[in-house]
Structure 1
Amino acid sequence: MRLLFLAVLRRHTGNAVTAQRVRDHLEAAGHVCILKDAFDFESPSEISSFIKAENLEAAVALHLYRGGRLLQGNGIPFGIIFGGTDLNEDVNQGDKNKVMGKVLEEARFAVAFTESMKETAQRQWVDPVFTREVKAKVKRSPGVRLIREMAQEDLHAVMKNCFALVNSSVSEGMSAAILEAMDLEVPVLARNIPGNAAVVKHEVTGLLFSDPQEFVQLAKRLVSDPALEKKIVANGKEYVRKYHSWQEERQTYRQLVRTLERSTED
């Protein structure tokens, strides 16, 4: 089957890494998967022309609004993969929320990476300013450095040489960085928000903090307690193996795409 895969492909981001991984799964199953940046298209009509020119039979989009809205009304079956921005940000904007609901009605399947993302979606249906704020905050913070995006293999090498990974996000869907750290046997300290708490169980697979003071306390505890570090590292590694298996993910996407294949035969 010839598939179109739409995603936002800014280099060295979680979206780009996820999109590449999913494409590898689909191509390993024998499909032709054409990965395109959703920002390269301005309207469904442009997508329609591309679909016809490439003789595409079905499509998958990463992000319900950014990618999924471009696939509406194009006459081919498609599925969507939720992104954190969908459920944490876009869902709170009336116009976008309405569009996303329409996309879901047309999609043949929807993938949520965690139960909390799934529950958020079910409750609802079934950026430059922030970047400037972060940079300004970093400049005012002694000992903190802002590093640009880097290739995944370089990032993993850096992570392996760190004592711990800290995720201080105030909004997450599923943090690929947390899962990568767990797989690399690096302890995780994460802000206690729903997206992080869905993958980090406090004092089991990592440590969750709610404010700066608690972060400092937990970081000091982690430094001084080798037994705790050993426990959360082992449990984190096992969690990734059990619930985010690369092999099982590949098989799941193969099965989902088969539903699109059957749709073209009906």
Structure 2
Amino acid sequence: MKLLFLACLSPKTGNCTTAERIRDHIESAGHVCVLRDTRDFDSASEVKLLMSQGPERFDAALAIHLFKGGRLLLDVGLPFGVIFGGTDINEDVKDEHKRSVMEEVLHRARFAVAFTEEMKHKAETYLDCDITKIHVQAQGIETRTSPNFSWTDFLHTSGVRVDRVDDLHVFLLVCGLRKVKDPLYLLNAFSEWHAQNPLVILIIIGPKIDPVLSSEVEECVKRSAGVFLAAERNQEELHAAMRKSFAVVNSSVSEGMSAAILEAMDLCVPVLARDIPGNAAVVQHEHSGLLYTSPEEFVLLSKRLLGDEELQKNLRTNGKRYIMERHDCVKERTTYQQLVEKLQ
């Protein structure tokens, strides 16, 4: 079977990584799965034309995000499945038009996948849909670190100029530079903390997705002591940087399931995440990570973590255990291979 797989494919983002991993699961079952960026298409008619004519003829389709991707499959006349994104449930349901489109997508889809039980429950609450179509499958997580990674070089190229590299406590904010990730949320509070303790620094790392916001982040970081902006890295280099950091930070306004949080847990790195529903669904406060509700609380929790080695150990151990129990790639592979059979 030949499938068209639509997703937002901005390089080095969680969406892109997730789509590539799911494609690998599907192709390992013997199917052909062609990934295309939703931004390549202006309308459903363009996708229909692609799927039905010429050498690119497809048998079925799959999309991540019910609105961004699923709406492009409504006119294809072929079986398709959809995967919820965090934006679907956290943001798009607030818009009457988008909600109506998502309901139509769910009505026509052979199946839908939610990353958490909470996402499935929200779909049942906010959307008129057949709940039996929605399968819960958490993201499978596998991390690989670059063997040639140099922590000193990483810090140097990120603009960090200190002599005592080993004494630094690096908080790594992993996010694409776009509004929903709110990369400047902690900037002022962290900079004030750095003035009190020069050995704590915050590094923001990720692709520049929103050009306007990216420029704003660059300007603000230049004026803020203790906060740095690092160029995006490939997955193995990013994972190596995460492993060397003291903690990985999330400051998002909205999340479906943050790959960066899960990857940090897999790498046995403590997580400090903004207390929003998507993060609270995967981070158990003071057990597998720390949840904060304000920049001030972030600083208080970070100070506590710095001075409590037992807490550090527990977060690392429990985070790793959570990944092993809930985010197994083998189970994820089996689930998608079984679901794709519904598109035959």
Q: Give me the TM-score of the superposition, normalised by structure 2.
A: 0.72
What amino acid maps onto 2:319 in structure 1? G
CA contact (8 A) 1:4 1:58 kept: yes
- In structure 1, the partner of 2:264 is 181
| Change in CA separation of 1:104 and 1:210 when aligned onto 2, cut-off 3 Å | same
Contact 1:13 1:149 in 2 (8 A): no
Q: Which of 218, 242, 262 matches 2:325?
A: 242
State the alpha-carbon separation in 2 of the partners of residues 46 and 25 from structure 1: 27
Q: Residue 97 of structure 2 aligns with which residue? A: 95
Residue of structure 1 equivalent to 2:18: 18
Tell me the CA shift for residue 120 of structure 1: 1.9
State whether structure 2 residue 257 is matched by structure 1 residue 165: no
Give the secondary-structure state (helix, strand or coil) at the position aligned to 1:145.
strand
Q: Tell me the amino acid that sits aligned with residue 34 of structure 1.
A: V
Runs of 5+ consecutive residues of structure 2 not aligned to the other structure: 130-177, 179-209
Per the TM alignment, residue 102 of structure 1 is displaced from its structure 2 partner at its CA by: 1.1
Moved more, 144-153 or 177-186: 144-153
Per mean C-alpha deviation after superposition, the further-off stretch among 31-40 and 139-148 is: 139-148
Shift of 1:241: 1.1
AA matched with 1:25: H
**CA distance in 1: counterparts of 2:222 and 2:118, whole angstroms:** 34
Residue 79 of structure 1 is matched in structure 2 by 81
Q: Which amino acid aligns with 2:81?
A: G
Q: 1:6·1:37 contact (CA, 8 Å) conserved in 2?
A: yes
In structure 2, the partner of 1:252 is 335
SS at match of 1:141: coil
CA contact (8 A) 1:3 1:60 kept: yes
Please list the CA deviations of residues 62-100 of structure 1 after superposition, one character each: whole Å capped at 9, or x if unmatched: 111111101002111111011112222222222222211
Determine whether 1:43 maps to 2:126. no
- SS where residue 202 of structure 1 aligns? coil
- In structure 2, the CA distance between the partners of 1:8 and 1:48, relative to structure 1 (3 Å rule), is same
Write the distance in 2 (CA, Å) between the matches of 1:33 and 1:24: 8
Residue 273 of structure 2 aligns to a residue in which SS? strand
Match of 1:109 in 2: 111
User: SS of the counterpart of 1:4?
Assistant: strand
What is the rounded CA distance, in whole Å, between the counterparts of 2:23 and 2:283 in structure 1?
27
Of 209-218 and 87-96, more deviation after overlay is shown by 87-96
Check 1:68–1:242 CA distance in 2 against 1; reply closer, same or farther (3 A cut). Answer: same
Contact persistence 1:181–1:188 (CA under 8 A):
yes
Shift in Å at residue 139 of structure 1? 4.5
Q: 2:9 maps to which residue?
A: 9
User: How much does 1:203 deviate?
Assistant: 1.0
Name the counterpart of 1:123. 125
Could you tell me how far apart the structure 2 residues matched to 1:92 and 1:134 are? 28
Aligned to 1:56, which of 55, 58, 63? 58
Aligned in 2, Cα 1:139/1:119: closer, same or farther, shift over 3 Å? farther
Higher helix share: 1
Aligned equivalents of 2:107, 2:223: Cα separation in 1 = 46
Letter in 1 for 2:18: T
- Offset, 1:132: 5.7
The equivalent residue for 1:69 is 71
Matches within 5 A, 1:199-210: 199-210=282-293
- Which region of structure 1 is more displaced relative to structure 2, 19-28 or 78-87? 78-87
> Which stretch of the first structure deviates more once superposed, 193-202 or 134-143?
134-143
Partners of 1:221 and 1:70 lie apart in 2 by 48
Which amino acid letter does the alignment assign opposite residue 158 of structure 1? A
- CA-to-aligned-CA distance 1:154-193 (integer Å, 9 cap, x gap): 1101101100001111211110000000001111011111
1:18 Cα offset (Å): 0.4
Q: Deviations over 1:23-48 (max 9, x none)?
A: 00000111110111111111111111
Distance in 2 (alpha carbons) for counterparts of 1:134 and 1:197: 26
Cα-Cα RMSD: 1.6
2:324 and 2:38 map into 1 onto residues whose CA distance is 31
Gaps of 5+ in 1: 262-266
Q: Which amino acid aligns with 1:68?
A: G
Q: Could you say which residue in structure 2 is the equivalent of 1:216?
A: 299
Q: Distance in 1 between matches of 2:9 and 2:275?
A: 28
Q: Secondary structure at the match of 1:165?
A: strand
